[in-house]
Amino acid sequence: MTNHISARLAWHSDGWNGHICKNPVANTYCSGQHSYPGNTIAERRDLTVLKWEQTNAGKSCASLSDIAPCIYSVNAFGAEKLTAFTDPPAFFRDGTKQKRWELPPATTCIWPYEEMFSAEVKKGNSFDNDKRLEKARQYFTRIEEDKSLVFYYANYSNPFSEDENQHYALVGLSRIKKVGEILFYEDTSAETKRRFGGAYVWQCNITSHYPNEGFRIPYHLYADQPEILEKMLLTPDNPRNFKFGTRMFSDDESLDLVERFLEIAAFLKEKGDTSENWTIRIEWLQKLIAELWQCRGLYPGFPRILDYLGFTEAIQFYKKRLTTEPEKEKELVESLFAFLEGKSSTIPGLPLPAIRSNEIIRQWQLKSEDERLLLRHTLPRFELQTEQLKRILGNARAENGIVATLPEIAANPYLLTEQFVGSDQDDIITFNKIDHGMFPSPELGGTTLAAKDDWRRLRALCVERLKHESKHSFATASQVIHEINHKLSYLPEWKRHQFTERYLEVDEENLSGALTFRTGNDPERKKYIYLKSVYEAEREVEEQIRKLARRPDISINVPMTAERHWVDYLRVLDSPLASGNTREEYDAAILGQAEVCQKIFVRPLCVLSGAAGTGKTTVIRALLQGIRRTKGSGVTIQLLAPTGKAADIMREKTGEPAATIHSFLAQRGWLNENMTFKRRGGRKEEAISTYIIDEASMLDLELIATLFRAINWATVQRLIFVGDPNQLPPIGRGKIFADLIDWIRETNPESLGFLEINIRQMENRLKKLGTGILDLASLFTRLGDDVHKSHTKMDAELMLGRVQEQGDIDQDLRVIYWSDPDDLSKKLIETIFSDLEKDTDQPYDPTKPSLLWEAAFKVQDDNGQTKHWQPEILQIISPYRGEQYGTGYLNTLLQRHINGWRMGRVGQLGGITLFDKVIQVVNRPKSNPYWAYSTESKKSEKIEAYNGEIGFAQPDLRDWRRDARGNVPFLQPGFTMKRFQVQFSRKSQYRITLDSGSEVERNLELAYAISVHKSQGSEFKRVYFIVPKHKMALLSREMFYTGITRANRHCTLLVQEDISPLLNMRRPESSHLAGINSSLFDFRPIPEEFLNRSGWYEEGKIHRTLADIMVRSKSEVILANMLFERDIPFRYEVPLRAPDGTFYLPDFVINWAGEEYYWEHLGMLDQEKYRNHWETKKAWYAKFFPGKLLITEESGELSKEANSLIEQHFS
């Protein structure tokens, strides 16, 4: 049994080769919040250091006189000797000097941070530093030189992580050659040594045998090839081993990882990569696998079983005997079980008092027969945690997802990986862990528990694959089988097998215990696979929605008319629109809202849908008034939202109590302690008659299914979904709101209330604030294409033509193009501070930018005193976290520009200093609230805070109070910040104290720039929205729409190079919603060609099976299919640019016989605005592309006319 370790590295853009990155400024990840160690690099890497890095880009660190900030990581695979350093902690305050030490080749520095904060080293409210030192020594002593392995990884600060999709990324492994000595600071005072365990350095060298023994994944060689990176990326199935900088783990867990490294090495060899001799690397990995099997043995789970049984004396005895006599493992296990079963009275070599022996045997006998059989014959094969054993064998195992009985688990141990849900995201039982126990190495002399093609194994593999499916409800059977076979193809021969779809047919009855199969209506009759739980969740939601939709209208005994009651509820009497020239238009808008209320009010199931600015919240308030008028003040109403932030906003805008769906479920027993959902066993709510669910576009399948299970629908009269269907799809599985709208529009249109008139646009026109934001956003809407065609290509061409010109598009919209990251940084800062000068009427002093910045955010009372700060004044938004246009880099840029001087003066905690703009990044619900000081009650209170809430870091009130000399502490020279208080928006009366860097890092991040996902549900007066061109993975119609509509007064779009990113995002295939396979009401699988476009896709090109998805109108689908049938190549809606730089979007661009033709289909010539636009466009074609234009018009003879054109030009 060998101990192996993980080692966190700061990201390096050129493979941790002991050199400065070739483009240091582009490596934004190494200074990220999740780098190593913590924020150290960010603190060291000021502008001077970054300039030094740029000057020495690509040079060996050994050749430089100064030391790189990333020195602890940079030499992991380096070939030269370097020098490392650390500065003494600020709290030493005794003149201790900087510590320097030698860093041999292939060396990193680590420290066991987890051990530093364990319960054993606690000393009251602080820590015993002598015990900490002893814990560190124990950790490093357990590493075996020339035997232990080190697995290098990057935490979330890596190129593969985004805010809502974060991954640890393994970057390599090697054999450990040398564990360095624990280092101590020098010239340290006796008092510091006494208090801090001798003043030891929290870093220790780990030197490996690389390159002789090791493997580095060459991410750096394929940084601009995402398809290859995706196949090389190694993220651990169980992230628990990659925490706290380093963790120790076993042979079994290492075996899992090495098998995956082998898979990557084989891929690189097959690809023809020449950066390494992959044959040699593969041979080493294969030998390593054989070695790990020998060290793992047949029964890696046995020590934990002894621990579970309380037989602790036997654990070290067992491990010691195995070290000296590994070949007797089976015999040793048998002898210990013989003792437990009373078949032998003693254990040779382990003396036990008679009382203790009887106690141990009695505990074994107290276990049920099923437990004993599982512990005796099955579980020793699997290295499970003791706590996992307790939950599996306990009577409450269903709380951890296990519905199988113990005999069923004994018969099929794969049930553990299929069903077990741990206490947190790190508590996982992986497929590989079970598969190792089912198929031990033949060299160990054990038996296998299954055939290689056993249905139990196949089912577990399918379940594993489908569990990793983050958005689709189902997947094609062919793809699942392909991925399973790929995984198995790199395993040793005794475990290797290749499945076919025929297995799914033959074993369907057995597989159906965890899987559900459906067959498509396509000519090939493709088979699709669901997780059974996902299929059942869809059917439960579908069944209840259909039942609600079939109910008769709600009877109303009190008159409710659109013209009288609803208009009164909806009209805002002091609205500037209600008088003057806009009154008639306003009255029409209010009447439209009233008609929506009248229409949906009597429906048991209804949807209120509308784009940003259409007045959804106003209509909700009116509906609440109507419900109380018709049902009385005692009517029970529950307002719900998917997130805490959304619930807070709903509560604020309606004046009604609102809750998160999670809190509603928790109160009724539908949430497990690990925050997973129960499928049964909770209490059904029976006292509420009306449910209103806001921000419905954020609902994922599992959440809504659990909510539906928690409600007794016999007591419910009305269910209302409210949302904007154009926003980002949910982070979880499915697209509930989009599917619901599509279904209800086709089958129950009377239950759909769609708000078409935009009140905000009217107000902006009246106040001359512009309508550019919503005009541009409307080009990216979903319903605009599918329902009423109000946003035609004409609108797009006119608006995008203005956007192309850049500058001020309207009073509320500005477009700025940038060429490179430096250009972006310069233009962003210049634009923000120019805007702030206008907004505050104060001048910008470049030497003191914080003065203008803070003036913009402060809200003052009548006496000119600051009441609170308002974060919603402005917000930078980016789709990405990484790169030089991502939130990580932009936050550092703005913090340095605005607050760098203050950080230098007072310091920082967790990368945050006083008056930084911050965002809460984890939920702190009632089960884990903050304690906050209330400036109203003058005492501390428990408060909730939610992911996405924004505020400012303020000085702690204790640092505001004047001291005995009348001085304010934090304003004094030499003040060092040891704590700060956060005031969140809408909670400005509360001040939340944070007093450690680790607490800050767990809860907060900088919020000068935030992601589009984090911004969802919020609005800001000014938004600066970054749109890159060359990284398109996250860019979609929904992403752009959500980002731009976060601005309620002004938006500045900062677009890379030209308008092409916007044109790309507007394309139908750029919709992320369109690419989600779900079947809430209809089973219509998305063609595989759409999901896997990389092989054939180029802008405008349409696969012949995808016309229905990628073409906007039914008439254009007819034309596309006619061109397909005749093998006439075309592209759809690609920009056609004239020599003068102007452009239009032809419906079809056709290449034929070396000539290019442009086909326009006209559909709205009866409208004067469209007709005039067409005349202008036609003249443009005649001027720049004479004789190349083909035209059809909307008519019943479209096919005939089109065929005639085709025969004339393309035959």
pLDDT tens digits, 432-449: 999 999 999 999 988 999
- Amino acid 899: pLDDT: 94
Parts of the chain belonging to CATH 1.10.10: 451-531
788 has a pLDDT exceeding 60: no
Task: Kindly state the DSSP code that residue 671 receives in the 8-state scheme.
Answer: B
Q: Which residue has the tokens 């030094």?
A: 52
Task: Kindly state the DSSP code that residue 495 receives in the 8-state scheme.
Answer: G
- Report the largest interatomic distance among the alpha carbons of the chain, rounded to a whole angstrom: 105
Rounded Cα distance between 833 and 866, Å, is 21
Three-state secondary structure of 13-58: CCCCCCECCCCHHHCCCCCCCCCCCCCHHHHHCCHHHHHHHHHCCC
The answer for residues whose C-beta is within 8 angstroms of residue 1097's C-beta and 6 or more apart is 1069, 1103
The first and second tokens of residue 846, run together, are 């470049």
Rounded Cα distance between 986 and 409, Å, is 51
789 has a pLDDT exceeding 50: no
941 has a pLDDT exceeding 90: yes
- Amino acid 783: pLDDT: 52
Name the least confident of 352-366, 573-587, 600-614. 573-587
1011 near 919, Cβ under 8 Å?
no
Please compute, for residue 715, the number of CA atoms within 13 A of its CA located in the half-sphere on the CB side: 13
Rounded Cα distance between 1055 and 151, Å, is 40
Rounded Cα distance between 981 and 993, Å, is 4
The answer for residues whose C-beta is within 8 angstroms of residue 803's C-beta and 6 or more apart is 776, 809, 815, 1053, 1059, 1062
pLDDT band, residue 1107 (cuts 50/70/90): low
119 near 135, Cβ under 8 Å?
no
- Amino acid 150: pLDDT: 98
Rounded Cα distance between 597 and 581, Å, is 26
990-994 β-sheet, strand order: 939-943, 930-934, 990-994, 980-984, 950-955, 917-920, 1004-1006
The first and second tokens of residue 948, run together, are 């996405």
The answer for residues whose C-beta is within 8 angstroms of residue 462's C-beta and 6 or more apart is 480, 484, 511, 514, 515, 529
Alpha carbon of 386 to those of 2, 335, 822: distances in Å?
19, 21, 53
Q: Which residue has the tokens 């890159």?
A: 1028
Task: For residue range 516-553, list pLDDT tens digits in order.
Answer: 999 988 878 899 999 999 999 999 999 999 999 999 99
597 near 623, Cβ under 8 Å?
yes
What's the CATH superfamily of 551-767?
P-loop containing nucleotide triphosphate hydrolases (3.40.50.300)
171 near 16, Cβ under 8 Å?
yes
Name the 3-class secondary structure at 1072. coil
438 near 413, Cβ under 8 Å?
yes
Strands (DSSP E) contained in 690-831 are: 690-693, 718-723, 752-755, 807-810, 813-818
Higher pLDDT, 1103 or 418: 418
| Run of H or E including 11 | none
| Run of H or E including 399 | none
74 near 85, Cβ under 8 Å?
no
909 near 1000, Cβ under 8 Å?
yes
The first and second tokens of residue 696, run together, are 């419905």
- Amino acid 169: pLDDT: 96
First-to-last C-alpha distance (Å) of the chain: 75
Bridge partners for 1130 per DSSP: 1150
In terms of residues, how long is the chain? 1211
Parts of the chain belonging to CATH 3.40.1350: 1087-1209
Rounded Cα distance between 888 and 163, Å, is 10
108 near 154, Cβ under 8 Å?
no
pLDDT band, residue 763 (cuts 50/70/90): confident
Higher pLDDT, 894 or 574: 894
| Highest mean pLDDT (candidates 12-16, 631-635, 650-654, 797-801) | 12-16
Q: What is the pTM of this model?
A: 0.90
Torsion angles phi and psi, residue 827, rounded to 5: -70, -35
Name the least confident of 303-307, 845-849, 864-868. 864-868
Fill in the amino acid letter for 672. Answer: N
DSSP strand pairing (752-755 vs 807-810):
unpaired
| Run of H or E including 639 | strand 637-641
CA torsion sign for 590, 592, 598, 604 is: negative
Alpha helices in 809-907 (DSSP H): 821-840, 849-857, 887-906
803 has a pLDDT exceeding 50: yes
Parts of the chain belonging to CATH 3.40.50.300: 551-767
Three-state secondary structure of 1109-1174: HHCCCHHHHHHHHHHHHCCCCEEECCCEECCCCCEECCCEEEEECCEEEEEEEECCCCCHHHHHHH
1105 has a pLDDT exceeding 60: no
Rounded-to-10 torsion of CA 450, 452, 453, 455: 30
> Which class would CATH give 451-531?
mainly alpha
Closest among 254, 244, 128 to 195, alpha carbons compared: 128
135 near 116, Cβ under 8 Å?
yes
| Highest mean pLDDT (candidates 609-618, 665-674, 953-962, 1077-1086) | 1077-1086
C-beta atoms surrounding 417 within 10 Å: 22
The answer for residues whose C-beta is within 8 angstroms of residue 148's C-beta and 6 or more apart is 2, 3, 4, 5, 175, 176
Give the chain's mean pLDDT.
91
- Amino acid 1096: pLDDT: 46
Rounded-to-10 torsion of CA 227, 231, 233, 237: 140
Q: Mean pLDDT over residues 325-347, rounded?
A: 92
Rounded Cα distance between 914 and 908, Å, is 8
| Highest mean pLDDT (candidates 411-415, 1140-1144, 1204-1208) | 411-415
1024 near 822, Cβ under 8 Å?
no
Strands (DSSP E) contained in 853-946 are: 858-860, 866-869, 874-878, 917-920, 930-934, 939-943
Rounded Cα distance between 1174 and 560, Å, is 46
Task: For residue range 597-645, list pLDDT tens digits in order.
Answer: 999 999 999 999 998 888 899 999 999 999 999 988 788 999 999 988 8
Rounded Cα distance between 461 and 631, Å, is 53
174 near 183, Cβ under 8 Å?
no
Name the 3-class secondary structure at 25. helix
Describe the chain by its helix, strand, coil percentages, rounded to 5.
Answer: 45, 15, 40
CATH number at 1087-1209: 3.40.1350
Torsion angles phi and psi, residue 70, rounded to 5: -95, 25
Closest among 78, 237, 220, 227 to 159, alpha carbons compared: 220
